Chains A and B, each alone.
Chain A
Amino acid sequence: MSQEKKGGLKRRDFLKIIGVAGGTAAVTGACSPPVEQIIPYVIPPEGIIPGVPNWYASTCRECPAGCGIVVKNREGRAIKVEGNPKNPINAGGSCALGQAMLQGLYNPDRIRSPLIKNDTGRMQPAGWENAETALVEKLQEAMQKGSGSNIVFLSGHTPGSMGNLIDEWMTAIGGRHLSYETYAFEPLTEANRIVFGIDKIPTYNIDKTKYLLSFGADFLETWVSPTLYTRQFSEMHSYKDKSMGKFVYIDPRASLTGVNADEWVSIKPGTEAILALGIASAIVSGGMSANGAGPFGGLLSRYTPDKVSSMTDVPEETIKEIAREFSSMQPSLAIGGGVATTTTKATETLVAVNILNYVAGNIGQTIDFGNTLTLSDVSSFDDISSLVESMSNGEVDVLFVYNVNPAFTLPKSMGFEDAIDKVPFVVSFSSFMDETTEKANLVMPDNTTLESWGDFIPNESVHGLIQPVMTPIFNTKSTGDVIISVTGQLKGFENTFSQKDFYDYLRNAWKEVWTSSTGGGDFDSFWDKALEDGGIYKTTSPVPVSVSGDLSGVEFSEPEFQGDGDFYFMAYPSYRYYDGRGANKPWLQELPDALTTGVWDSWVEINTETAEKLGIKLGDYVRIESPQGAIETQAYVYPGMRPDTVAVMIGEGHTSYGRYAKDRGVNPITILPVAKDALSGGFAWFTTKVNISKTGKYTPFVQTQYTTSEEDRPMVGTVALSSLVSGELEQEHGEHEEPDFYPPVKHSSQYRWGMAIDLQKCTGCGACITACYAENNIPFVGKELVAKRRDMAWLRIERYFEKTDNKAGFDTRFLPMLCQQCGNAPCEPVCPVFATYHNPEGLNGMVYNRCVGTRYCSNNCTYKVRKFNWFSYKFPEPLNWQLNPDVTVRDKGVMEKCTFCIQRINYAKDQAKDNGRKVLDGELQTACQQTCASGAIEFGNLLDEESKVSKLSHDERGYKVLQSINTQPSITYLKKVKWDKA
């Protein structure tokens, strides 16, 4: 793919980028005009060759991680987002949120022009002139008052030129700029300040660790930089050279990250600190510590394993075992800081984790303070709460809201909504009518990331560029441009900004970057190179840190939980919606949650025994009551919960935010108290207890998989690590092929496409599913049809909770299931009209136009991976702009399925033909493979002995699903490795 992308980027895009750089009509010149003007091409616009995609590098802004992306543009429309292989954070991978960016860009509910709230309180469309003059007026008034802090700009985490512009502007006109992130990880910063004297979030080298211990850090989902850590985790946790790292997850709830652990330790909520200290003291007392207890000897001596065990509900031998392995399997790493540990004692917990790392000698080994994250620079939660206070006291006259939705992400009890009503003039730059924007007096819709210029600095090593990949679809305007032009209209500030627009501002800023970094060469070529690469990437060197033993103010004790309920209440961030911003994207709504396979809704996860006691069944509606309020949602009965804890996902429950998000599910934040972590002052997520009760209402729980057991069928192959290492493979499942009736067929082709999927690497995150939707024009069907099992996903991830003898009592297994392209395909001979047939390259072809819809193929499909178009599905304008022109949009009555992205195969073959060679290994990637951050999927030519895929298909762990049916699949799965004493 990297090959293909170079091919895509190098020549044509260079021209284009020149066009950009020379950009007078920057945006429009760079990106092609909207399609309706350019089809048919009489004379193609400069830089556009019909049928040939252009790739633009940019930066993802769906979460603060700041992954690099490249966007595929066909005839002026962005049609696919992929991870930028050059970006060191995600290195080509991307998560479902990143894949779904396009549905933000093309969302039918986008605000299409500035809106001004009239006296009746209704929003009315307006032109940009009117909008800006209205804003100028209000600003002038407010500035006359000039109390200094009566103008507030509340933004998301915006490190880079945009942030600087806002700062400059606010200082100039006498306001203040606050940046607010829902998950700010303040305790992490504070704990590092206390122990290491550095108030930063470091980069953890998970890939280098042999033993990973996570205290509630859901690093595969939302924690700090999920895609980066997914990749690194796959690195440390995959089986290679007869070894593999071990991962232990400590949390009252087995999150998606938790079920990927070799061992899930269910712990009493809030006692992680004590457990961490217990493990540390066990290491020290066992004489296993690399550098002794250091300054913490006294402290640790107080936390003997037996004592700790009684406080944390974690068996003593477990503590000792972890201690032994943690110290012996070097380098090891302990991390923490997910919602589970974000109690009022969050900082203490993380201090304890740091101590544990220190004791095991991991500082500087697997924790890199050289490459710290900018995320630690966001305003503290104290600032936000004081802002809300001053708002409700009427001290704020003008409030700008940019890239945040506090009305949704702040607890109701904080009173933000009342406070914002007290603000005379609220300006929102949001692209969507979200809860906060509803309150705005003036809406000045920003371009989405894919339409605007900018840059983003996630950490020390990456300075990402954001460039528009197509012209704005609607009458929107980059907020940077708005600020500059508005400032120009303010009396006395005409010259505050010398630049004529934000693009100009950005380039100036980068001139400094240029001088500070390389300096050499001329700026334009530097700029073009940066645009081409999606930014500039530095290698940072680790800085040595010293540990201070001074823990004054830190005392380790159990946090109190508010409310007199019987259940600890966990509101956990969703890897599909992050803090709710993903909820308006149908792809994410229809992406089944990995654990529950639920879609389009919320649910509360309740432990199996608890549910039995309360007589709650899957699908029962449950009322969850905290002192701050109550929510009602369906129950999901889940063995991976502590019996005294219930959990609800954050992200659903919008009261606004477009047709796909509105009035769907519940928002658990609404019943959270405003509690702070004592030391850092950061918002504490896990601080309340609730009562739960059956409401009596029941509807079937809408999910994509109704079973949790493999039913004694060899679906997910597993193998014990010990037996792999020792060489004598004793394997859980085994099936062999039966003799065939007909002699084997010989195909006359130089390719036979095959795939290998490493179940040890697959984390079940589902990014591949969303990528498949995006690449293959798969329609989303909505909750009602998913309830009838009519979801159209070509690729599903089967999840099984198999009863096992491990500590958790069950083992969660994921199995990505897509068309196996069987060599002896059951679907083909039964089709009366040859709509599906076998092509010479081993693919199981599907000719939509031949299909009459007998559906026999699906009935005869061993893997049930075929989907049928029950209706003609709609893509509401402009969502249809995203459709991939290389793939047919199927109409009602025809069968469809995965064909290994045959359009990509053909493109790659054409490229190869042009260059008079065969398709190179790795040059061609399927959409699912390309996006997979953990590199679980390998694809290529099985006839090429040297190709990665043919090597993997002969791997000792290799097996075919349901082999005894003799379908001879082209997909080889690599067995999941069970960690046992090895």
Chain B
Amino acid sequence: MSEQTSLTYAKVNEDVIRMLDKPTVKWLALFIPTLGIVGFGLFCFLYQVYTGLGVAGYRHPVFWGVYITDFVFWVGIAHSGTLISAILFLFRASFRISIYRIAEGMTVFAVLTAGLFPIIHLGRPWFFYWLFPYPNQRELWVNFKSPLLWDVFAVSTYLTVSSVFFFVGMIPDIAAIRDKVTEVPRKILYSILSLGWKGSNWEWLHYTRAYLYFAAFATPLVLSVHSVVSWDFAMADLPGWHTTIFAPYFVAGAIFSGLGMVISLTVPIRKIFHLEKYITLDNYDGMAKMIILTSMIVGYAYGTEFFMAWYSGSPYEWGQFYYRATGEYALFYWIMVACNVLIPIPLWFKSVRRNIKALFIISIFINIGMWFERFNIIVISLSRGFDPAAWGVYKPSWVELGITAGSFAWFFMFFLLFIKTLPSVSIAEMKEFLPVPRKEANHHG
């Protein structure tokens, strides 16, 4: 960590808080179009609600399509955030410190995005709240046996806990900002958000403990949430869905895609705000290694699916997987394989792992590949069920694509706001990592 040692406590405050200066033209040039796309997505949704779900490309028997794909994709993105901040925190992996705040932000915003899709894809979205267990005049509770209910609980729990984790982690830093800024409105805002943090030994004492417990909770949670999402499919009897490997397969995929997204996001930020000293090549090296690992797990899962389909001797399973690789959707299938298994291979070389450009490009492909993985699992399985008479090919409509674009814009809107209002790098933890200022450098406590 050679670059980082040249930092001092004061420098950290300065660098991080500088990021919150008045929005630049560049920033606005990004933000305003983003809002535009969000607006278009909203229009598409309203049009769909008014006309009926038929404006989406659904056709018998493919009753789930792009919307659920987006849902799983965004939930997946949400995962590496908590993973990096919580699991790596427990393992004390040093490369997390500089990026975990961005990753956590990404988590929260990704969940906020993912949470929209279960509502968007409903036939009667105006009744979405019927999925929540609340006393009602119908005297009807919800069906806890339904994986969709598990989703409701898992995702909302995940949103709550990751938000708390995100916020608590920021309290000392917000206090630092509060102490720096002078303009009245910001002063008030940060004073409130800092909850009057002073950095006394008591605060630190409980804070560090609490943070540890959050991490301890977040870790099993993050694993459970994507397992639950995978069970939306694994609990069904549909060939291509009904398999026991889904939970680990999905979790690995989630981490894989999440790391990809982290790289895609941090690389430009690092450049724009000159954070080279904070987000170092070693950090990227560490992430790249995890990408290799998860890419291999995912690739293994693809292979396992095929082998089991063939080995089971079931015409339904084999029919499904043979179709995936050769049918109408074969292109999508091979895009997935290429992006998720082949393209990450160069990361075995240290030179590539430490080459920001290469990493960035690979990370983009990973995002594409993982979107298609979800699309393939959902759509191809549905289009070839048990009954050959009910086979059909689904094509997304412009409405679905519009809403998908809207969801990306929605995510980036939050993210752009975040980097301008909240500390993108953890000031306190950076300091924890830096040498504490001492008079006599020789002895160490």
Contacts and interface: CB of A to CB of B under 8 A. Distances in A.
Is any CB of A less than 8 Å from a CB of B in the complex?
A: yes
Contacts of A707: 388-389, 391
Interface string B125-154: 001101100000010101101111100100
A871 B54 contact: yes
B61 A864 contact: yes
A868 B138 CA distance: 23
Contact of A859 (B123, B146, B238, B315): B238
Contacts of B152: 832
Nearest to B142: A832
B123 A709 contact: no
Contact of A850 (B54, B128, B140, B232): B140
A870 B122 CA distance: 11
A832 B143 contact: yes
Given A713-B316, A788-B59, A832 B52 contact: no
A895 B121 CA distance: 14
Interface string A675-717: 0000000000000000000000000000001110111110100
Contact of B388 (A710, A853, A860): A710
A789 B383 CA distance: 12
Contact of B147 (A715, A830, A962): A830
Contact of B148 (A785, A815, A830): A830
Nearest to B233: A859
A497 to B, nearest CB: 56
Given A830-B236, A832-B148, A833-B140, A893 B124 contact: yes
Contacts of B146: 829-832, 856
B124 A851 contact: yes
A862 B140 CA distance: 27
Interface in A861-885: 862-864, 867-872
A35 interface: no
A713 B387 CA distance: 8
Contacts of B391: 706-707
Contact of B53 (A830, A863, A870): A870
B319 interface: yes
A860 B237 contact: yes
Contacts of B52: 869-872, 892-893
B333 interface: no
A851 B123 contact: yes
A829 B143 contact: yes
Contacts of A851: 123-124
A561 to B, nearest CB: 38
Nearest to A893: B123
Contact of B122 (A710, A831, A853, A862): A853
A831 B143 contact: yes
Interface string B304-319: 0000000000011001
Nearest to B236: A860
Contacts of A834: 140, 142-143
B387 A798 contact: yes
Interface in A786-815: 788-791, 796, 798, 800, 815
A426 to B, nearest CB: 45
B131 A862 contact: no
Contact of B130 (A705, A833, A856): A833
Contacts of A715: 387-389
A700 to B, nearest CB: 10
B299 interface: no
B214 interface: no
Nearest to A859: B63
A856 B63 CA distance: 8
Interface residues of B, number: 46
Instruction: Give the residue among A710, A854, A868 with the most B Cβ atoms within 10 A.
Output: A854
Interface string A823-836: 00010011111100
B122 A852 contact: yes
A635 interface: no
Instruction: Give the residue among A709, A789, A832 with the most B Cβ atoms within 10 A.
Output: A832
Interface residues of A, number: 51
A856 B388 contact: no
Nearest to B390: A864
Contacts of A864: 60-61, 385-387, 390
Contacts of B238: 859-860
A715 B386 CA distance: 9
A893 B53 contact: yes
A332 interface: no
Contacts of A863: 386-387, 390
Nearest to A891: B124
Given A834-B140, A864-B61, A709 B388 contact: yes
Contacts of A853: 53, 122-124
A412 interface: no
A817 interface: yes
A710 B59 CA distance: 21
A893 B122 contact: yes
Contacts of A895: 123
A892 B235 contact: no
Nearest to A714: B315
B236 A711 contact: no
A895 B123 CA distance: 9
B316 to A, nearest CB: 7
Interface in B372-391: 382, 385-391
B231 to A, nearest CB: 11
A894 interface: yes
Interface string B227-244: 000001001111000000
B2 interface: no
Interface string B94-135: 000000000000000000000000100111100110110000
Nearest to A711: B388
B445 to A, nearest CB: 57
A862 B389 contact: no
A826 B142 contact: no
B178 to A, nearest CB: 44
A867 B123 CA distance: 12
8 contacts: A713-B386, A817-B389, A853-B124, A858-B60, A860-B237, A864-B386, A870-B54, A965-B386
Interface of A: 705-707, 709-713, 715, 785, 788-791, 796, 798, 800, 815, 817, 826, 829-834, 850-856, 858-860, 862-864, 867-872, 892-895, 962, 965
Closest 4 interchain pairs by CB? A853-B123, A870-B54, A893-B123, A864-B390
Given A817-B387, A850-B138, 12 more contacts: A711-B319, A715-B387, A715-B389, A800-B389, A830-B148, A832-B148, A852-B124, A859-B382, A860-B237, A862-B387, A864-B387, A895-B123
